[in-house]
């Protein structure tokens, strides 16, 4: 046992030293291959780890990434302790001015999905934005509420009390979810609002995706929200959410892609909200969200950053998405990304 | 290497020289170490206050009494978290103190000799459980048990009291308080056990000789003799309970308004800082959390000072009291 551990350790050490040699030799050859360090969004982390290994094999450049959460990513890039940050929530105006001279580029596309645990309720329960807002505002308190029954004609609904579960830590999922609820419900917008951290009037707060999933699993009658990839890989029961076309698309890569295709408006700083979908988007998943990379306009590693982000939004980088429950970026977003990349270091 | 070349008197002079340097050197170095501790405390307090300044100047002392924490409207107040900290630590100590004293009495006076060491070790090991593991256990085991069994029972028996009203919940003040009980019990037990062991055998023997039962001996000799130590132990546990962040954040349910019911979700100062500091949005988010941290720091310092005063006074009293009590026996 010890021997095996030792040999594993030696192998690791060798790999690390080889990798170190590789990166140091490329360092001297060109600055576009200098190693990068990034931190932020946990949502993008699985895709990032694919990118890291693929990018390293193609360019011999190493990218180190710390999945510390979107808020942490914003903090770190603001203080310039990393070369790039990643966030699921676009920067606020305050954050932009505090970060001084950064560019925000959408580089992956996913969704936030509700998940529920209600004994005696049907699978694929149908809900809509107003009902979700009502639940999180504490207005709809039982699973047999007429508003829920109306969306699920003929379904047997228990009278279990609804326990909404939310993220108690700052989270890109909270941003996407509250952004959606604020779009569909004026009351939600005025009493709760949109942010990575909000004050929900009712419910239970839990830490991170795992905490939310555990709280849902342990509480009969609960509903919460987690990242799409997390929900799919953990096989949580997800309700179907009505979109603007009146359909109930299954949460997944196709429906998220449909949502992104339906929105062509790219806001200032490349901010794109997918909460307000047109009614023509029949198969669009209503709580889809972009996740962003945040890069300083001026940096010693500008060339390396440009190269890596160009790779990430390229068809090669995006091709790893679907297996990991990320939808590929639509053309106009890639075009906007390229424009933004050109600004780095110039 | 030069030693061989040196004659005896020179060696002696050298030793005197090292003596002369050694003493001030020792004083200097250890003084520096002591000063470093003070400097670190002051520097931390300064840094936290500095970070908190925007919130302090915006909210003033009203921050302490404001019952709200809304990052969207940027209205921040510490009241829900001060309340959460006070209520969870108080309940935790209400359970942990008697429990710990009972364990210590058992281990020092009642348990068969060969059981004492293993049981004491096991209790100590309880303190070694990482708080994040304890928090997970709270989510997966304790929470559902509270929701299904304990809280409905409390509600049906004492539901007329506001603190036991409302719907049972797996997450909330009471669950957090019980997790804190488990965390503080080994600390308090460990100290009280040590204190009980210092009770002079003579006093105990004297008590028995006068015909006291074991309970009377414990009540009249062990407990009065150990009073200051017990208070010190409880305060030590209180420090732990006030400062615990991770496990509490996992089970308390992260709500930011005061609720009378112990079943309801809430939060504590430490848990709120741990959960929300990373990436807190808005110009006032971080400063407000730092302000909360400053209040927590003040809390901890006050608890420490009070503990010191109690232990000091108790220690003085014990010197006066114990012999007379022993005489009385």
pLDDT digits 0-9 by tens, A225-240: 999 988 988 889 999 9
**Chain B CB contacts of A195 below 8 Å:** 71-72, 281-282
Structure tokens at B302: 């006050």
- A93 vs B: CB within 8 A: no
Cβ distance A75 to B140 less than 8 Å, yes or no, reads no
**Chain A CB contacts of B149 below 8 Å:** none
Cβ distance A207 to B250 less than 8 Å, yes or no, reads yes
Which residue blocks in A60-105 are alpha helix, DSSP H?
Answer: 70-78, 93-99
ipTM of this complex:
0.80
Cβ distance A203 to B68 less than 8 Å, yes or no, reads no
Which phi and psi (to 5°) does residue A313 adopt? -90, 0
Kindly tell me if the per-residue pLDDT of A5 is higher than 50.
no
Kindly tell me if the per-residue pLDDT of B47 is higher than 90.
yes
Strand-pair partners of A293: A86, A105
- A39 vs B: CB within 8 A: no
Confidence band, pLDDT 50/70/90 cuts, at residue A2: very low
Q: What is the mean pLDDT of residues A318-345?
A: 92
Least CB-CB distance to A205: which of B167, B255, B280? Answer: B255
3-class SS letters over chain B: CCHHHCCHHHHHHHHHHHHHHHHHHHHHHHHHHHHHHHHHHHHHHHHHHHHHHHHHHHHCCHHHHCCCEECCCCEECCHHHHHHHHHHHHHHHHHHHHHHHHHHHHHHHHCCHHHHHHHHHHHHHHCCCCHHHHHHHHHHHHHHHHHHHHHHHHHHHHCCCHHHCCCCCCCCHHHHHHHHHHHHHHHHHHHHHHHHHCCCHHHHHHHHHCCCCHHHHHHHHHHHHCHHHHHHHHHHHHHHHHHCCHHHHHHHCCCCCCCCCCCCCCCCHHHHHHHHCCCCCCCCHHHHHHHHHHHHHHHHHHHHHHHHHHHHHHHHHHHHHHHHHHHHC
Can you give the pLDDT at residue A1? 42
Q: Can you state the angle between helices B8-59 and B285-328, rounded to 10 degrees? A: 120
Confidence band, pLDDT 50/70/90 cuts, at residue B329: very low
What is the nearest CA distance from B81 to chain A, expressed in angstroms?
14
Kindly tell me if the per-residue pLDDT of B321 is higher than 80.
no
Chain B contact probe: residue of A82, A98, A189, A205 with most B CBs at under 10 A: A205
Confidence band, pLDDT 50/70/90 cuts, at residue B328: very low
pLDDT in tens, B227-247: 888 988 999 899 999 999 999
Confidence band, pLDDT 50/70/90 cuts, at residue B8: low
Surface of B (143-202) touching A: CB under 8 A: 143-144, 147, 167, 169-171
Cβ distance B265 to A218 less than 8 Å, yes or no, reads no
Kindly tell me if the per-residue pLDDT of A182 is higher than 90.
yes
d(CA A145, CA A37): 50
Cβ distance A161 to B167 less than 8 Å, yes or no, reads yes
Kindly tell me if the per-residue pLDDT of A339 is higher than 50.
yes
Structure tokens at B234: 């409880």
**CA distances for B46 relative to A320, B56, B304, angstroms:** 48, 13, 19
Percent of chain B with pLDDT over 70: 90
**Chain A CB contacts of B68 below 8 Å:** 199
Indicate if the alpha-carbon torsion angle B216, B217, B222, B224 is positive or negative.
positive
Indicate if the alpha-carbon torsion angle A201, B174, B86, B44 is positive or negative.
negative
Least CB-CB distance to A219: which of B70, B170, B285? Answer: B170
Choose among B277, B327, B267: nearest CA to B67. Answer: B267
pLDDT in tens, A289-308: 999 999 999 988 999 999 99
Structure tokens at B328: 């009385």
d(CA A149, CA A321): 36
**CA of A220: which chain B residue's CA is closest?**
B144
Mean pLDDT of chain B: 88
Kindly tell me if the per-residue pLDDT of A10 is higher than 70.
no
- B255 vs A: CB within 8 A: yes
Q: Can you state the angle between helices B227-243 and B79-105, rounded to 10 degrees? A: 140
Mean pLDDT of chain A: 88
Confidence band, pLDDT 50/70/90 cuts, at residue B280: confident
Confidence band, pLDDT 50/70/90 cuts, at residue B314: low
Kindly tell me if the per-residue pLDDT of A170 is higher than 50.
yes
Can you give the pLDDT at residue A175? 92
Can you give the pLDDT at residue B12? 61
Q: What is the mean pLDDT of residues A247-267?
A: 91
Can you give the pLDDT at residue B13? 61
Kindly tell me if the per-residue pLDDT of A284 is higher than 80.
yes
Q: Quick count: other Cβ atoms within 10 Å of Cβ B26?
A: 10
Least CB-CB distance to A169: which of B69, B139, B275? Answer: B275
d(CA A237, CA A229): 13
Cβ distance B280 to A71 less than 8 Å, yes or no, reads yes
Confidence band, pLDDT 50/70/90 cuts, at residue A269: confident
What is the nearest CA distance from A104 to chain B, expressed in angstroms?
17
Secondary structure element (H or E) that encloses residue A29, with its range: helix A2-29
Backbone torsion region of residue B253, taken as left when φ is above 0, otherwise alpha when ψ lies between -120 and 50, otherwise beta: left
Least CB-CB distance to A205: which of B143, B253, B279? Answer: B253
Least confident of A263-277, B124-138, B150-164: A263-277
pLDDT in tens, A124-140: 899 999 999 999 999 99
- SS3 for A25? helix
Residue B255: which residues within 8 A CB-CB, separation 6 or more?
Answer: A200, A203, A204, A205, B80, B264, B265, B266, B267
Kindly tell me if the per-residue pLDDT of A117 is higher than 90.
yes
Q: What is the mean pLDDT of residues A248-263?
A: 93
Can you give the pLDDT at residue B307? 80
Percent of chain B with pLDDT over 90: 69
Q: What is the mean pLDDT of residues B285-298?
A: 94
């Amino acid at each position: 046992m010890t021997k095996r551990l030792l040999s594993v350790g030696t192998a690791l050490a060798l790999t690390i030293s080889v990798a170190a040699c590789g990166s140091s030799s490329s360092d001297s050859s060109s600055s576009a291959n200098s190693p990068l360090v990034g931190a932020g969004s946990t949502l993008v982390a699985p895709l990032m780890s694919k990118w890291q290994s693929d990018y390293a094999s193609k360019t011999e450049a190493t990218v180190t990434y710390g999945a510390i959460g979107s808020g942490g990513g914003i903090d770190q890039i603001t203080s310039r302790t990393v070369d790039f940050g990643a966030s699921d929530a676009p920067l606020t105006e305050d954050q932009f001015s505090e970060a001084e001279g950064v560019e925000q580029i959408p580089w992956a596309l996913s969704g936030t999905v509700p998940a529920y645990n209600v004994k005696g309720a049907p699978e694929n329960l149908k809900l809509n934005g107003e009902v979700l807002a009502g639940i999180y505002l504490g207005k709809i308190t039982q699973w047999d509420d007429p508003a829920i029954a109306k969306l699920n004609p003929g379904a047997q609904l228990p009278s279990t009390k609804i326990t909404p579960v939310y993220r108690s830590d700052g989270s890109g999922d909270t941003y996407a979810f509250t952004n959606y609820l604020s779009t569909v419900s004026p009351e939600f917008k005025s009493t709760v609002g949109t942010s990575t951290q909000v004050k929900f009037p009712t419910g239970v707060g839990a830490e991170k995706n795992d905490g939310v999933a555990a709280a849902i699993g342990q509480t009969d009658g609960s509903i919460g929200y987690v990242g799409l990839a997390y929900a799919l890989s953990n096989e949580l029961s997800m309700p179907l959410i009505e979109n603007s076309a009146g359909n109930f698309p299954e949460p997944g890569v196709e429906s998220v892609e449909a949502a992104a295709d339906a929105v062509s408006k790219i806001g200032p700083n490349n901010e794109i909200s997918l909460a307000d979908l047109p009614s023509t988007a029949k198969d669009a998943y209503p709580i889809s969200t972009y996740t962003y990379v945040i890069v300083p306009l001026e940096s010693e590693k500008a060339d390396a950053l440009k190269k890596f982000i160009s790779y990430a939004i390229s068809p090669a980088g995006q091709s790893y998405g679907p297996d990991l429950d990320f939808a590929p970026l639509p053309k106009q977003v890639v075009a906007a990304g390229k424009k933004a990349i050109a600004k780095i270091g110039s | 290497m030069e030693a061989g070349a040196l004659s005896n008197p020179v060696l002696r002079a050298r030793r005197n020289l090292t003596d002369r340097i050694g003493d001030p050197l020792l004083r200097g170095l250890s003084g520096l170490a002591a000063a470093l501790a003070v400097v670190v405390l002051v520097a931390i307090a300064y840094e936290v206050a500095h970070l908190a300044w925007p919130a302090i100047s915006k909210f003033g002392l009203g921050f302490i009494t404001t019952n709200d924490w809304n990052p969207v409207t940027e209205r921040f107040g510490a009241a829900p978290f001060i309340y959460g900290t006070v209520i969870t630590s108080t309940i935790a100590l209400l359970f942990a103190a008697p429990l710990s004293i009972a364990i210590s009495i058992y281990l020092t006076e009642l348990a068969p000799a060969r059981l004492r060491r293993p049981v004491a070790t096991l209790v100590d090991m309880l303190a070694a459980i990482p708080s994040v593991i304890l928090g997970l256990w709270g989510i997966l085991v304790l929470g559902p048990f509270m929701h299904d069994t304990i809280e409905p029972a409390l509600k049906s028996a004492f539901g007329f009291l506001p603190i036991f009203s409302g719907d049972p919940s797996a997450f909330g003040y009471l669950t957090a308080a019980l997790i804190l009980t488990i965390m503080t019990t080994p600390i308090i037990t460990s100290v009280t056990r040590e204190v009980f062991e210092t009770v002079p055998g003579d006093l105990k023997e004297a008590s028995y000789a006068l015909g006291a039962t074991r309970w009377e001996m414990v009540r009249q000799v062990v407990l009065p003799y150990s009073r200051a130590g017990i208070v010190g132990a409880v305060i030590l546990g209180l420090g732990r309970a006030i400062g615990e962040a991770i496990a509490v954040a996992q089970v308390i349910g992260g709500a930011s308004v005061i609720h009378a019911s112990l079943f309801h979700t809430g939060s504590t100062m430490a848990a709120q800082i741990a959960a929300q500091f990373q990436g807190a949005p808005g110009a006032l988010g971080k400063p407000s959390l730092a302000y909360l941290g400053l209040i927590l720091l003040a809390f901890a310092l006050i608890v420490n000072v009070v503990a010191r005063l109690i232990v000091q006074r108790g220690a003085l009293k014990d010197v006066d009291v114990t012999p007379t009590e022993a005489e009385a026996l």
